[in-house]
Each structure stands twice: as C-alpha cells, then as structure tokens.
C-alpha cells in the first residue's frame, strides 16, 4: 500500500512539473514572442488543471508556479530597499547639436574606435529585477535612484516577465532592468470603461503604470494588463564584452527585449534611427518619448565612467510632443449620464500623430476661459495619451479682428434646463436627471453594464427602443417588463425576448455593492460603492445616513456625501428602490470592514492635485485614506495639506497659498508616513 501511495505521489509531482513547464512555455510564446500556440480557452483549462492538482498536493507546488502570478491578501505597506547598483537617470536633450557635442566628448576621451546602440525610450516606469539561480526573487522600483520599494508581488502578475528563466548560461545572481508600461489599446479600453461608468479617465499611460505598481493589492494589479521590456543587465562577474551581446543572451533566457533597436553603429546611424522613429512612433502599440543611445562596449563604458547623476556613456534624445494647428469651427457640449456637461472643440480635420483629428477636449468652463477662445480662432492641438486630443493654445497671430470670445453655455443643450455649478467643482451639471434624454439613456446603459447589473442581452439600441415605445423611463421599469409588451416591438423574436427576460431575472442575484454602483449616484464609482456597502449593509441604512456619518468614513469626501444624501432624498429614487426591492434585487449584504494600515494621518484633510512621478493620483488618495487621512476634492479652510505634483491646478495653488496651507511634494508627503 505504501509503495502504491509513493508511486501515486511521484506521478502527481511529475504531472505538476510538466504542467508548470508547459504553461510557462505558453506564457512565453504569448506574452514575449506574441506567437500563441494554443487558444485562451485551452490555456485556461491547463491552468485550472494545475490549480486543482496544487490544491490537492500543495507540497509539490513550485514557488514560481504560473498559478502564483496573482498574490494573496493585500499588503499593508511597501518595504524600501537600497539598490545594489544605483539607478541613475540619463542626461537628455531635444537638440541634435547636443548629440554631436556628446559624440565629440566620447571621441576625445576614448581616442579609439567605438560604437553606439540605439534603443527606443519607453514612456513607462523603470523597474529592477533580481534573479537568483534562474528564479525571480525581487523587484524594486527606481524610487530616488538610491532606494526603491519592493513590488515583487505586483511584478509577478506581469506575464511577459519570466518567473523562472529558460536555457542556460545565466549568472547565479544578477539584476536586469526594464520599463513597465501599458499598450495604448489596453489603456484606451480601460479609460472607455471608466468614462462609461461615470469615472474620471486616467491621465496618461505612464502615470497609470506608475500608479498600478504602487497598488497594495496584487490581485488588482493583475487586472490591468501591464507589460515590460527589459534593456540593461548588472552583474558582478563579466560575461559579455558588449551591451548588444548581453541583450541577445537575455532574450535567449526568456526576457522580452524590444526588437526595435540598432546594431552597433556610429552617430550617423543613431541620427537615422532617431529620424525614422520620430515619424514611425505612431505605428507602435505603446508610447515612446524619445531614443536612447549608449556606448556598446562595456570596457569603454568603464573608462568613460559617471557623473554624480548620469552615466557619461549614454544620453537620451527626447521628441517634442506632436502638435498641429487648425481652425476651431465651434464648441459643442456633451451631457453625460451624471448630468456633467463637457465642452468639446470641433475642429477643421487635421492629421496629428497618425490619425485625423476632428475634436479635442476642453474639459470645463475654466479651460475655455484660460485659453481665451474666440470664434474663428486657429488653435494648437496636441496628443499626449488622452483618448481625445487637447487644445493647448491659440495662435494669436491669426485671430480675426473683432471676433467674439466664447462663453460657457447657461442651459443644457439637450433639455434647456439651467445648468448648475457647485462650489469647489469645475464641472457644470444639468440638474434635470429624470427628464434629460442623454442622462436618462446614460443611466440605463450604466445600469445594465457588465460591471454593474450585467444584463448582457440589453444594449444601447434596445434601451432606446424601450424608451421610445414608452415601456421604461428608468432602470427600475426594466423589472416590470412582460413578454407580451416586448412582442410588438421590431426585431423582437421569441428567443430575443426570452434572453432579455432571463437576463433581467439573473441580475437579481448581483451582489449589493454592485447594485449600489449600478444606481448611478454621482461620484459613486466601483470603489466608493464597495466602501459604502461595507459601512452600511443595506440601502435603507445608507438612506438613513447623515452627511456627518458619511464624511466620517475616510474614503468619503464632502462632495460624495452630499450626492449620496441628495440622491436618497429624491422621491423618484425612493420609488425606484421600492420597485427593485419588490422585484428581489439585492439591496442589502454583509461585508467585512477593512482596517487601516495606520492612523498616522488621522484627523488630517488632504487635497491631491497634479501629476506625480511615483503614484497614480487615485493610488495616492487611497494611500492617504489607508493611513487614516481624509481626501477632499477642493481646497478650503479645513484643508491641512495639499499634495502637489507637476501641473498642479493654478486655482488650487493660489487658494492654498492664500489660506497658508502646507504644500507637500512627494518626498515630504512620504515623510509623514510611518
């Protein structure tokens, strides 16, 4: 019997070993080589099979198993560590003349033949990976170049980064550096989802990648489709004579190395490379902001050495943001599902960064005033990671004499209701929530969306059809629909009707926190809905909550609290909730409350403004709240600190200075944390 059991264990271990290796190879084929050899479904089946075996025989699970790419419970804080090899920044320039001077200094110092390699300068976040005996043991952010944060669990979720190396010949211990980024199509898809959910879009791919790496929950990181190119190795023993040889070896070990680089070349070859990618960069699936040139030979690098901040053997050439000028034909206004009215510049079509641009964002009334837009103006437009381009300035040399300046519209463009703008907010709103057509349809689309009630059988056209037929006015009416009402509508066969009604019925099992999100309360996104669900276990309890009780919750600011209180006071919303309750929709639930990491910031009010190097703005807000602080939307007399990044809003800065509020940069803010 004992022998049989032993043989069984041997067989299971062999199966786990084989599945682990097979899945690693499929990951490499898909995420590194971009040549998948099996379907996603087949991969998922293999992964589930491995998960089942590992759950039954955990003693045989590999520490770097493909099933372990998503970590366990969220950590409380990151641990900082000193870099073994400092992560210095590169000197940079926008001038080809500076590159010529750089080359002349190299020539003068070396007095021998030398070559450069040219590489794309990825617009992402630097990372340092350490491998021991072929296994990933640590991942560290750049930080200040001397010290960074350990983010190994987050990096393990990036499937293009090998957990275990393939091939042979790698050192027992070495470091490899790279850039974490997100592909444009994935970034735009995420932003489209956020816009549909009534949430603020992410500012740009780089900040998104940076903020994602700083999330404390690796399960959330795994959902964000990050990628990584590796481009530089550090090791104690010298295995290669040149940088290009080291990258060829790294590629053979399973690392994802960008294919767009030069063979060893001279300055002329580098300049040709720069010119090519300045025109061709829009064809890439990811963002670059320039080109890096490096001396290829390692001994020559040692001879050139370093300054206090930069290597003398490398420099980056940065591209200027792509801009175009065109005629501002008119300003239009879009009404979102929450009633937010957003101005959009309608432009004479112009080619910019590989696409024809007809519209550009103007954000709000303050932006129109800042730009001082006039009828018939010629404007400059830039593309910088946003879903739609932005107007950056006016060409005053082409302004028409006597042209009238634009003023923000006073009434809703769809229903004619007078717009409102609350104190401390930049956006104008149409308050006619139930009678404004785009708000009505937007709320319905939001309610049935996948992340909300997930009624997949009902799309935008179907909702429009229901509204036009007078069958529904709001989402609660969906639960009153009957088959005979739908039978008289166009394109409504028996099977379609059955799918719609089954989808509505299935949505009654959607958990309470997602129902809260689906209700479409202004500023209550997925995260806020989860927070409210954990604090108030039913809509009845939430409806009874006071403004003071809501703002006592660290994640809930004044504006969110005002919106929640106002929403539950509306008679129309009370009626909708009664219908949902009668239909059996989940309007209550029981959730475990999460404790703060610390109370270091307890009792302190923060405003976060600008673009940050180490954090995505939402991640920074969550970090403040996780240490007991409260995040405000606007600066007021109750504000204790403003955490300021680059391009901080000028009005917030002026108000903070007038109120003598302490303004913190990132290091000063981090000094407040335990």
Q: In this structure, what is the dihedral angle of CA atoms 595, 596, 599, 603, given to the nearest 10 degrees? A: -100
Same domain, 373 and 495: no
Q: Which of 393, 414, 430 marks a domain boundary?
A: 430
Give Cα separations from 307 to 13, 91, 143, 311 (angstroms).
53, 10, 19, 6
Give the separation between CA 451 and CA 467, rounded to whole angstroms: 22
Distance in Å from the first CA to the final CA of the chain: 57
Range of the domain at 663: 605-670
Q: Which of 548, 583, 618 marks a domain boundary?
A: 583
Which of the four pLDDT bands, split at 50, 70 and 90, describes residue 595?
low
Which of the four pLDDT bands, split at 50, 70 and 90, describes residue 70?
low
Pair 22, 46: CB distance under 8 Å: yes
User: pLDDT at position 1, please?
Assistant: 41
Is 505 within the bounds of a domain? yes
Give the separation between CA 416 and CA 90, rounded to whole angstroms: 55
Same domain, 64 and 86: no
Query: What is the β-pairing status of strands 340-352 and 323-335?
Result: antiparallel
Tell me the pLDDT tens digit for each residue of 170-186.
999 999 999 999 998 88
- Picking from 35-49, 338-352, 584-598, 655-669, which range would have the lowest pLDDT averaged per residue? 35-49
Residue 579 corresponds to which tokens in the numbers above? 């219908």
| Inter-helix orientation angle 558-569/571-583, to 10° | 80
Which of the four pLDDT bands, split at 50, 70 and 90, describes residue 240?
very high
Q: Which residues contact 589 (CB under 8 A, 6 or more apart)?
A: 511, 512, 513, 533, 537, 538
State the average pLDDT over residues 408-431: 90
Catalytic residue among 77, 108, 121, 638: 121
Same domain, 248 and 355: no
State the average pLDDT over residues 638-649: 82
Pair 185, 511: CB distance under 8 Å: no
Query: What is the β-pairing status of strands 125-132 and 135-141?
Result: antiparallel
Is 591 within the bounds of a domain? no
User: Residue 404: which CATH number?
Assistant: 2.40.50.140
Is 75 within the bounds of a domain? no
User: pLDDT at position 4, please?
Assistant: 47
Is 287 within the bounds of a domain? yes
User: Within 10 A of 431 (CB to CB), how many other CB atoms are there?
Assistant: 13
Which of the four pLDDT bands, split at 50, 70 and 90, describes residue 230?
very high
Same domain, 104 and 251: yes
User: pLDDT at position 188, please?
Assistant: 81
Tell me the pLDDT tens digit for each residue of 34-47.
566 666 566 767 77
Residue 611 corresponds to which tokens in the numbers above? 């673009």
Same domain, 110 and 169: yes
DSSP letter for each residue of 400-454: PTTPPBP---SB-TTT-PBPB--TT-S-EE---TTT-HHHHHHHHHHHHSTTTT-
Residue 10 corresponds to which tokens in the numbers above? 């041997």
Same domain, 472 and 577: yes
Pair 620, 612: CB distance under 8 Å: yes
Pair 601, 624: CB distance under 8 Å: yes
Give the separation between CA 348 and CA 326, rounded to whole angstroms: 6
Q: Which residues contact 226 (CB under 8 A, 6 or more apart)?
A: 157, 158, 180, 181, 182, 209, 212, 213
DSSP letter for each residue of 620-654: HHHHHHHTT-EEESS--TT--EEEE-BT--HHHHH
Pair 465, 490: CB distance under 8 Å: yes
| Inter-helix orientation angle 184-196/205-213, to 10° | 80
User: pLDDT at position 559, please?
Assistant: 81
Q: In this structure, what is the dihedral angle of CA atoms 358, 363, 365, 370, given to the nearest 10 degrees? A: -80
- Picking from 129-143, 241-255, 592-606, which range would have the lowest pLDDT averaged per residue? 592-606
Give the separation between CA 599 and CA 657, rounded to whole angstroms: 27
72 has pLDDT over 60 = no
Pair 179, 124: CB distance under 8 Å: yes
Is 77 within the bounds of a domain? no
Same domain, 449 and 572: yes
Give the separation between CA 630 and CA 560, rounded to whole angstroms: 12
370 has pLDDT over 70 = yes
More confident residue, 270 or 525: 270
Pair 355, 321: CB distance under 8 Å: no
Facing residues of 455 across strands? Answer: none
88 has pLDDT over 50 = yes
Give the separation between CA 29 and CA 46, rounded to whole angstroms: 15
154 has pLDDT over 70 = yes
User: pLDDT at position 353, please?
Assistant: 65
Tally of domains in the chain? 5
Is 340 within the bounds of a domain? yes
**DSSP 8-state assignment for residue 101:** H
User: pLDDT at position 509, please?
Assistant: 95
User: Residue 293: which CATH number?
Assistant: 3.30.470.30
Give the separation between CA 527 and CA 572, rounded to whole angstroms: 25
Phi, psi of 268 (to 5 degrees): -60, -40
- Picking from 48-62, 94-108, 532-546, which range would have the lowest pLDDT averaged per residue? 48-62
309 is catalytic: no
Give the separation between CA 43 and CA 50, rounded to whole angstroms: 11
More confident residue, 130 or 213: 130
Same domain, 659 and 636: yes
Give Cα separations from 238 to 220, 245, 510 (angstroms).
39, 12, 58
Give the separation between CA 528 and CA 392, rounded to whole angstroms: 33
Is 17 within the bounds of a domain? yes
Same domain, 229 and 283: yes
* pTM > 0.75: yes or no: no
Q: Which of 415, 430, 445 marks a domain boundary?
A: 430
State the average pLDDT over residues 504-517: 95
State the average pLDDT over residues 482-509: 92
Give the total residue count for the chain.
674
| Inter-helix orientation angle 96-110/267-280, to 10° | 150
User: Residue 462: which CATH number?
Assistant: 1.10.150.20
User: Percent of the chain having pLDDT more than 70?
Assistant: 90
More confident residue, 620 or 38: 620
More confident residue, 223 or 649: 223
636 has pLDDT over 50 = yes
Which SS3 state, helix, strand or coil, does residue 20 take? helix
User: Residue 59: which CATH number?
Assistant: 1.10.287.610
Which of the four pLDDT bands, split at 50, 70 and 90, describes residue 567?
very high
Tell me the pLDDT tens digit for each residue of 386-399.
456 889 899 999 99
User: pLDDT at position 3, please?
Assistant: 46
Same domain, 447 and 548: yes
Task: Give the sign of the dihedral formed by CA 609, CA 612, CA 618, CA 623.
Answer: negative
Same domain, 335 and 309: no
Pair 401, 394: CB distance under 8 Å: no
User: pLDDT at position 28, please?
Assistant: 67
Give the separation between CA 109 and CA 672, rounded to whole angstroms: 46
Is 331 within the bounds of a domain? yes
Give the separation between CA 415 and CA 437, rounded to whole angstroms: 7
Facing residues of 426 across strands? Answer: none
Same domain, 114 and 245: yes
User: pLDDT at position 269, please?
Assistant: 96
User: Residue 664: which CATH number?
Assistant: 3.40.50.10190
Give the separation between CA 231 and CA 361, rounded to whole angstroms: 36
Across the chain, mean pLDDT equals 86
């Amino acid at each position: 019997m004992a022998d049989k059991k032993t043989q069984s264990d041997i067989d299971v271990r062999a199966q786990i070993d084989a599945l682990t290796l097979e899945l690693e190879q499929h990951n490499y084929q898909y995420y590194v080589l971009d040549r998948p050899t099996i379907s996603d479904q087949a991969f998922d089946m293999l992964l589930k099979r491995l998960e089942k075996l590992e759950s039954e025989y955990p003693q045989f699970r590999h520490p770097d198993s493909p099933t372990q790419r998503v970590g366990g419970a969220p950590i409380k804080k990151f641990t900082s560590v000193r870099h073994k090899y400092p992560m210095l920044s590169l000197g940079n320039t926008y001038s080809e003349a500076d590159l010529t001077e750089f080359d002349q200094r190299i020539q003068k110092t070396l007095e021998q033949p030398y070559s450069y390699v040219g590489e794309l300068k990825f617009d992402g976040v630097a990372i340092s990976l350490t491998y021991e005996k072929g296994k990933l043991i640590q991942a560290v952010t750049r930080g200040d170049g001397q010290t960074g944060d350990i983010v190994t669990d987050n990096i393990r979720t990036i499937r293009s980064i090998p957990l275990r190396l393939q091939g042979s010949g790698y050192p027992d211990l070495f470091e490899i550096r790279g850039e974490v980024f997100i592909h444009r199509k994935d970034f735009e898809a995420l932003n489209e989802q956020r816009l549909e959910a009534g949430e603020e879009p992410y500012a740009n791919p780089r900040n998104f990648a940076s903020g994602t790496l700083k999330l404390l929950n690796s399960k959330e990181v795994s959902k964000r489709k990050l990628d990584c190119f590796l481009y530089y190795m550090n090791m104690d023993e010298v295995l290669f004579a040149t940088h290009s040889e080291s990258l060829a070896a790294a590629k053979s070990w399973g690392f994802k190395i960008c294919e767009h680089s030069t063979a060893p070349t001279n300055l002329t070859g580098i300049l040709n490379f720069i010119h090519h990618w300045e025109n061709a960069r829009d064809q890439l699936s990811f963002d670059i902001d320039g080109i890096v040139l490096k001396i290829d030979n390692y001994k020559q690098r040692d001879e050139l050495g370093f300054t206090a901040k930069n290597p003398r053997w490398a420099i980056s050439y940065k591209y200027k943001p792509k801009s175009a000028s065109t005629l501002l034909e008119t300003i239009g206004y879009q009404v979102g599902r929450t009633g937010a009215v957003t101005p959009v510049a309608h432009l004479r079509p112009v080619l910019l960064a590989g696409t024809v641009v007809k519209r550009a964002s103007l954000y709000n009334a303050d932006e129109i005033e800042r730009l001082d837009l006039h009828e018939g103006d010629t404007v400059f437009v830039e593309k910088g990671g946003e879903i739609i381009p932005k107007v950056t300035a006016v060409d005053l040399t082409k302004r028409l004499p006597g042209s009238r300046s634009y003023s923000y519209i006073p009434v809703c463009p769809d229903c004619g209701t007078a717009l409102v703008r609350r104190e401390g907010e930049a956006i104008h709103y149409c308050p006619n929530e139930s009678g404004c057509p785009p708000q009505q349809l937007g709320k319905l689309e939001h309610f049935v969306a996948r992340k909300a009630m997930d009624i997949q059988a009902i799309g935008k056209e179907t909702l429009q059809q229901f509204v036009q037929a007078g069958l529904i006015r709001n989402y609660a009416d969906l639960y009153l629909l009957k088959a005979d009402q739908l039978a008289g509508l166009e394109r409504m066969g028996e099977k379609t009707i059955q799918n719609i009604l089954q989808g509505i019925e299935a949505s009654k099992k959607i958990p309470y926190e997602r129902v809260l999100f689906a209700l479409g309360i202004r500023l209550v996104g997925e995260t806020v809905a989860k927070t409210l669900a954990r604090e108030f276990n039913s809509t009845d309890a939430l409806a009874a909550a006071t403004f003071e009780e809501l703002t006592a919750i660290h994640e809930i600011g004044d504006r969110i609290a005002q919106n929640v209180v106002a929403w539950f006071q509306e008679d129309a919303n009370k009626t909708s909730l009664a219908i949902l309750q009668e239909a059996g929709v989940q309007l209550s639930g029981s959730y475990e409350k999460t404790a703060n990491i610390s109370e270091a910031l307890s009792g302190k009010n923060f405003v976060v403004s600008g673009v940050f190097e180490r954090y995505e703005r939402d991640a920074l807000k969550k970090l403040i709240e996780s240490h007991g602080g409260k995040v405000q939307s606007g600066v007021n007399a109750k504000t204790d600190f403003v955490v300021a990044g680059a391009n901080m809003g000028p009005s917030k800065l002026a108000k903070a200075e007038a109120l003598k509020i302490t303004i913190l940069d990132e290091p000063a803010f981090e000094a407040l944390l335990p």
